[in-house]
A and B are shown apart, each in its own frame.
Chain A
Amino acid sequence: MTSDTFAQFRPPAAPPAKARRLPLPLRRALRSPMTVIGLVLVSFHLLLALFAPVIAPYSVSAILTTGLTPPSGAHWLGTDQIGRDYLSRLMSGGRIALLVSLLGVFAAVVTGAVLGLFAGYRGGWLDDLVMRLTDAVMAVPELLLIAVLVLTFGKEIWSLSIVVAIVYTPGVVRVIRARTVGLAAQDFIRAAELRGESLPRILFRELAPNLTGLLAVELAIRCSSAVLKISALSFLGLGISQPTPDWGLMVQEAMTVIFTDPWFLIAPAIGLSSLVIGINFAVDGLARAYGVSETDTNP
């Protein structure tokens, strides 16, 4: 009987778990076929990047034949000039570029958001200083800046990620700052100030939640750009180098056999393009769902 005595004090039984639904903007985005294609491509590439070493038929560095061979039953895409299985290398060709871009851009978005919020809200000389610095970094074309910084930092995964973070932070700062300036003039911020809220609270509790959609779009846009730039760098022979498989590098190597075996160029080109197209199609849907226009991301 004792257990019943306390029944009224116990918390009520949890209501039956409702199926969690996606937020409205995302559900709206999923109605567009282009967005769905984009998301499917991105998921495919993420899974491929994660599991390529497990599902690839051969090791990426194993030398199996003498020189280049055309596609066959044993090697579906043939083997490259050194005699390594091309399909296996193709499957791993986006891993480093994707990893470096994700790490670097994530760091850039976090840093850029904090700086952009701070500069946009406080204004004054600090804002001016941050803006002129972003102007200066952005005046150097991304690919050149990456190439110069790689010369300094090196080509390891960590150094490449740092370089990507440095190159993409200013753009994020500008975008977040522009939106913050608009938000800071609104009544809810005035109200928070009158309540005597602290600066970090106003920045991260009042302002930041209004930037979620924009930040998600920024993350994805910069990621697709970073993948393009890192691949271009490898293509130029200044980035990821042999024996690591990389699509940019594979396109460059295939240019010597473009007359006889154009397929060796087309395969990695499709790999890289489908990844970037997937990201951009997904971003386009995401941006429309959150009401982020092209002019928001190019202030």
Chain B
Amino acid sequence: MNPIFSMVLRRLALSGVILLLVAGIVFIGTEVLPGDALEATIPQDERIYYTDEDFDRMRAELGLDRPPLVRFGEMFVNLVTFDFGTTILTREPVIGYIWHPIINSLLMASIAVIVTPLVAIALGAVAALKPGGRRDGIISGVTLFSYSMPDFVVANIFIIVFALQLGLAPAILLIPETAPAWQILSVSVLPVMALIVSGVAYQFRLLRAGMQETLRSEFIERARLSGVPEWRLVLVHALPVALVPMLNGTAQFVAGIVSGVVVIEAVFKFPGIGLELIRAISQREVPTVQAITFLAAFAVIAGNLLADIAVLALDPRARRMTHDK
């Protein structure tokens, strides 16, 4: 069999295993609460309205009286088939709660996922043309600075500067969940800007480290000795290989975007999955929390799988490695 094909197949199988473990973590994190999902959903002061028989009956209806392993099996099968069940108290399908928010958040996040590496690579190339030079120093300093800024602070600074001082964008988005895509995208400019700040810094720093390593390697020295001009050396010979550490950081990057989406949506009141997650957590609505957490991990694993394949395409040395990195 084609070695690359079998490597991809292997990664795919590994991703499946990881997804199973993630389901386990989500299960442990949410089901084995002190008490159970039902007790968690009903606030302390409302419990006096329920008798023990009520609780037992509701538990039986929800299937919470079955042993944990059975419930885990069922939850796992449901999650991987994207069947998220119903909420505990109102018994409405979870998918109805999360469908539109997910679409909205995906619209915003996909712009960020496309723009971030482009900006990072542009900055990385500029910095790498003269390593240790003034431009390199300034870009590295600024990215370290912006990497350290909390994203909710960055978002609020953008609101103060762009919305309050310059009046270019609305500070808070008053837009319904079911708004059409173009409307969602048109209000996403400021949120996306706030969202990419730390991701650009993270990817730039990995790219810079990869560039420093690559420029020291023998194949670059060989190209330099054979008279390849410096800019061509950096952009054509070194850059593809220098992308590898950045691509290896994809899981972290996607996870960062998801965390960022939750925070940024809370700042701008953007009608997306982050706001929905915050609502679900504060109302302790376990099935919705499980669904969103699982989908977030799914996005991270899928992103990582794509990045792994991209590494195989970019770095010939990775294709020759047979064992796991």
The residues of A with any CB-CB pair to B shorter than 8 Å are: 34, 131-133, 135-145, 147-149, 151-152, 224, 228-229, 231-232, 235-238, 248, 251-252, 255, 258-259, 262, 265-266, 269, 272-273, 276-277, 279-281, 284, 293-295, 298-299
Contacts and interface: CB of A to CB of B under 8 A. Distances in A.
Given A140-B26, A151-B30, A273 B206 contact: no
A276 B144 contact: no
A140 B245 contact: no
Contacts of B164: 258-259, 262
Nearest to A277: B148
Contact of A238 (B267, B281, B293, B301): B281
Interface string B92-127: 000000000000000000000000000000000000
Nearest to B246: A298
A272 B210 CA distance: 30
Contact of A151 (B19, B145, B267, B289): B289
B128 interface: no
Interface in B256-289: 256, 258-259, 262-263, 266-267, 277-278, 281-282, 284, 289
Interface in B30-65: 30, 32-34, 40
Given A224-B148, A273-B149, A295-B210, A132 B278 contact: no
Nearest to A293: B209
Interface stretch (B79-87, B150-158, B184-192, B225-233): B150-158
A136 B16 CA distance: 10
B138 interface: no
Nearest to B294: A140
B145 A277 contact: yes
B75 to A, nearest CB: 14
B262 A152 contact: no
B281 A143 contact: no
B300 A142 contact: no
B251 A151 contact: no
B281 A140 contact: no
B297 A139 contact: yes
B208 A294 contact: yes
